[in-house]
Structure 1
């Protein structure tokens, strides 16, 4: 990260209230409903998991104080004693069992958190503070997987639905704040939980306001409607840095924009330039997918479209993560070769297809979508650009309605297995693999490498298997990496402090008021 601390403005008159303007708030207050980053970031203010991750995604104790591997498929977790839920009840091992078993039953439109619990076959309560977890295969990354599985009290019952969480009735966690009210796409209002086991937060109340329009979010900061904003529009960063009324901090994010070509045999959405559907899907041809990659000028996207606050991505996760390709070949731009590959594949005149992207999830998503359409046009493709709200994009993509899509992805466990198992393995619900494989990509050799890697307890062997699978996905152009984003926050001048996170999360408990 570019620096350790971020300072900003919360006037002394309202030091007990922290107001945060976020580009995207939670979709629901059910902690097991969805797995997208803005959802997890918001609910972490209310709920906690057995383990947590620090600002660099290193695993730390949370509701569990210790854990150990008893054999290749058995883990034992010791719980922190005397932890209180918001309703006054005390954390018990049965709450952990209930929460882990609840995940596959309540998955929402993006598959929820099933990938994180896919290998769990049994959860045993040994005593009030000891839980034993058995997996179907060896799972060396189980602690990382559990960092996103929030614990709720068992007494909320099996019939607790999203509406009960959104109303606050079932929204009972152990986190630093209690839910006061929630309006989807509008506001999340939280109140300090004075019995929080780490000690009470600096803030009596926290307000998360969803302000998806970038200009409106900046205006809210300027007018002091909010004290802090995330996802500062890249085009405004230089100007804010020059203004002594504001403080800006940015650093590398784990999020990478990826281009997802669909592998279905045929789609009426892909046509010739006269609008006639093609007999087969050209995106199934590796030469066509390579042409898509060669058409993209990543340096221009990073330097111009995204205002120098991104950098070209050469693989689908951050280069230094565990299991990444050690020395990935730099992605190339070659329009002539792209045209030649399209001609070799039987499309000398190109073809027409829609490109779908989010418009309000990550910085620059709509601008990148537009630029990408123009770049693909240079190699003969007619691309209809569709930048839509994430509330439209996420369920539509899960339903298989898109043939070419652009979306951000971050390997939130800090290693390759999470990404490969989620995006690149054949969708196999029985094994919990491919939960986010919405492209219908399937490669038996890659599947086998991922499957073996995910249960390899020897870390060196696991690393080699993962990097090999990553290389195979890369060579297939199954998912095309474009650019890695920066994280950017802004506040007014110098009365807040926090350590920024590579996963872009803005956690109110770890934001402190700076005494004057």
Structure 2
């Protein structure tokens, strides 16, 4: 009898353990459904949101964006701008890496130099003189810029500015990205490609630890499957709830839906180096032939908003909230085409990638453009092929999105509109306008906040006046969570920290 009772108790304990650890949720594990896998867990070896969603939990930078969008010290206890080009950071003492090494200024110097020279993120830190980055002592770091760029501190909030352990990277070599070492509240455990990434609580974290023991990222590419997993308890949090699933999540009493605008904009670009799109009248005619608001609402429903200006409203110095959506005017569009010498109409091609939202918008645009005598052909391309077309200047019109890498408008406006960035650099409209270049350069290097605001306001108005591109849509990020999950904040950068998340009863 005692033997049978012992066996029953053993089986009961096993069942209880399985109940606590099985599935995606329960106990002290937080499970998150991602739409795609990471590319690399080395912060300078990639610049994609899927990788950043994971690295943001493992690493920390000198500074960080708080939930309200303000910049706060992180690994830096404090920092100061010594002069127009010099910045000095005082590090927190006693901070441990996941391998037990203490954070020293030498690790920061090593990390910043890697970032400055890394192709994926060098555009964020290119104003830093790599030879000037130095350790003043074990807990003080200083660098100088080649030009006085005020946006360098926001740039350091990007994962490219995360601090790595010099010893771990050097000894890890090419294998380091598979075994990352950071200082954050979660440390790396394992990575099953295209399946899952597991992290666990770092007991020696220098700040307040996480409220759970493990974090499991599950790769679930199909949007409907992420919602099913959220409903069934397979995940606690699901990324990227699409428009057709929004109501399902909102109507579920056990779930929450979180939405927030990011730093990006979808736009219709003109190849301004190619006839007839080098003519502002033609660009204006095309813009006036479109009812952008109706197209955006039909495609995106209630997600995001119709864009009004060239700079997303979430970015510093944006004046988009002061602008209105341009109204369709078919008759004026016809008049402008006549004035430009195209009284008999115009033929063009709209290129975009294999993205359903964009292909749906292109289809609606084709119909509307025909009302003004414009015959549009839609060219849907695989991403890499589309990328080659727009970088090489082979496009007429094209549809794409651009997302800033920091809260500073320079990381949006400079690559998209400065003549030095034509093609490969992000200026896919091949704009070469001295006034735009001058205003962007003044905005980049001005130290006075009001001066920067004035320069950026002027360039935004001018770009809209010359119809440099047609603003279409400002994206709204979406995330579904179980009701008992708290502390989730969506970052406009597009990747999110989960170290403050709580799991209620």
Post-superposition offset of 1:206: 1.9
Post-superposition offset of 1:422: 2.4
Give the Cα–Cα distance (whole angstroms) in 2 for the partners of residues 226 and 12 of structure 1. 5
Counterparts of 1:255-266 in structure 2, within 5 Å, are 255-265=264-274
Determine the structure 2 residue equivalent to 1:40.
Answer: 52
Is the CA contact (8 Å cut-off) linking 1:497 and 1:512 kept in structure 2?
yes
| SS in structure 2 of the partner of residue 182 of structure 1 | strand
Is the CA contact (8 Å cut-off) linking 2:416 and 2:427 kept in structure 1?
yes
- Matching residue within 250, 259, 282 for 2:259: 250
Give the Cα–Cα distance (whole angstroms) in 2 for the partners of residues 242 and 299 of structure 1. 27
- Matching residue within 175, 183, 198 for 1:164: 175
Determine the structure 2 residue equivalent to 1:426.
Answer: 419
Determine the structure 1 residue equivalent to 2:488.
Answer: 498
Post-superposition offset of 1:19: 1.7
Moved over 6 A (4+): 10-13, 158-161
Give the Cα–Cα distance (whole angstroms) in 1 for the partners of residues 85 and 26 of structure 2. 51
CA deviation digits over 1:74-126, x for unaligned, max 9? Answer: 1111111111222221211122222222124332xxxx222210210121210
- Matching residue within 457, 461, 465 for 2:451: 461
Unpaired runs of 5+ residues, structure 1, are 1-9, 266-280
Give the Cα–Cα distance (whole angstroms) in 2 for the partners of residues 387 and 439 of structure 1. 18
Give the Cα–Cα distance (whole angstroms) in 2 for the partners of residues 152 and 132 of structure 1. 17
Taking structure 1 as reference, are residues 442 and 28 closer, same or farther at Cα in structure 2, changes over 3 Å only?
Answer: farther
TM-score by length of 2: 0.84
Determine the structure 1 residue equivalent to 2:154.
Answer: 144
- Matching residue within 74, 91, 101 for 1:79: 91
Determine the structure 2 residue equivalent to 1:336.
Answer: 331
Taking structure 1 as reference, are residues 245 and 85 closer, same or farther at Cα in structure 2, changes over 3 Å only?
Answer: same
Taking structure 1 as reference, are residues 438 and 86 closer, same or farther at Cα in structure 2, changes over 3 Å only?
Answer: farther
TM-score by length of 1: 0.82
Q: For the aligned residues, what is the CA RMSD?
A: 3.1
Greater shift in the superposed pair: 191-200 or 396-405: 396-405
| SS in structure 2 of the partner of residue 188 of structure 1 | strand
Taking structure 1 as reference, are residues 11 and 158 closer, same or farther at Cα in structure 2, changes over 3 Å only?
Answer: closer
Give the Cα–Cα distance (whole angstroms) in 2 for the partners of residues 376 and 133 of structure 1. 52
Greater shift in the superposed pair: 419-428 or 80-89: 419-428
Is the CA contact (8 Å cut-off) linking 1:425 and 1:434 kept in structure 2?
no
| SS in structure 2 of the partner of residue 34 of structure 1 | coil
Q: Which has the higher helix share?
A: 2
Counterparts of 1:268-417 in structure 2, within 5 Å, are 281-319=275-313, 321-325=315-319, 327-347=322-342, 348-357=344-353, 359=355, 364=357, 367-379=360-372, 380-386=374-380, 388=382, 404-417=397-410
Post-superposition offset of 1:329: 4.7
Is the CA contact (8 Å cut-off) linking 1:358 and 1:406 kept in structure 2?
no
Is the CA contact (8 Å cut-off) linking 1:176 and 1:201 kept in structure 2?
yes
Post-superposition offset of 1:58: 1.1
Post-superposition offset of 1:186: 4.3
| SS in structure 1 of the partner of residue 235 of structure 2 | coil
Post-superposition offset of 1:227: 1.7
Greater shift in the superposed pair: 393-402 or 245-254: 393-402
CA deviation digits over 1:363-395, x for unaligned, max 9? Answer: x45544554455445542323242646x77667
Give the Cα–Cα distance (whole angstroms) in 1 for the partners of residues 88 and 390 of structure 2. 38
Greater shift in the superposed pair: 133-142 or 171-180: 171-180
Is the CA contact (8 Å cut-off) linking 2:351 and 2:386 kept in structure 1?
no
Give the Cα–Cα distance (whole angstroms) in 2 for the partners of residues 160 and 335 of structure 1. 62
Say which one has the larger Rg: 2
Taking structure 1 as reference, are residues 443 and 13 closer, same or farther at Cα in structure 2, changes over 3 Å only?
Answer: closer
CA deviation digits over 1:264-312, x for unaligned, max 9? Answer: 44xxxxxxxxxxxxxxx43333233323433332322343221122222
Greater shift in the superposed pair: 76-85 or 27-36: 27-36
Taking structure 1 as reference, are residues 213 and 126 closer, same or farther at Cα in structure 2, changes over 3 Å only?
Answer: same
Determine the structure 1 residue equivalent to 2:81.
Answer: 69
Post-superposition offset of 1:59: 0.3
1:202 aligns with 2:211: yes
Unpaired runs of 5+ residues, structure 2, are 1-21
Taking structure 1 as reference, are residues 243 and 66 closer, same or farther at Cα in structure 2, changes over 3 Å only?
Answer: same
Taking structure 1 as reference, are residues 339 and 85 closer, same or farther at Cα in structure 2, changes over 3 Å only?
Answer: farther
Determine the structure 2 residue equivalent to 1:276.
Answer: none
Taking structure 1 as reference, are residues 397 and 216 closer, same or farther at Cα in structure 2, changes over 3 Å only?
Answer: farther
Is the CA contact (8 Å cut-off) linking 2:350 and 2:399 kept in structure 1?
no
Taking structure 1 as reference, are residues 371 and 175 closer, same or farther at Cα in structure 2, changes over 3 Å only?
Answer: farther
Is the CA contact (8 Å cut-off) linking 1:153 and 1:173 kept in structure 2?
yes
CA deviation digits over 1:344-371, x for unaligned, max 9? Answer: 44444322324213538xxx45544554
Is the CA contact (8 Å cut-off) linking 1:120 and 1:136 kept in structure 2?
yes
Give the Cα–Cα distance (whole angstroms) in 2 for the partners of residues 182 and 368 of structure 1. 38
1:116 aligns with 2:124: yes
| SS in structure 1 of the partner of residue 499 of structure 2 | helix
| SS in structure 1 of the partner of residue 419 of structure 2 | coil
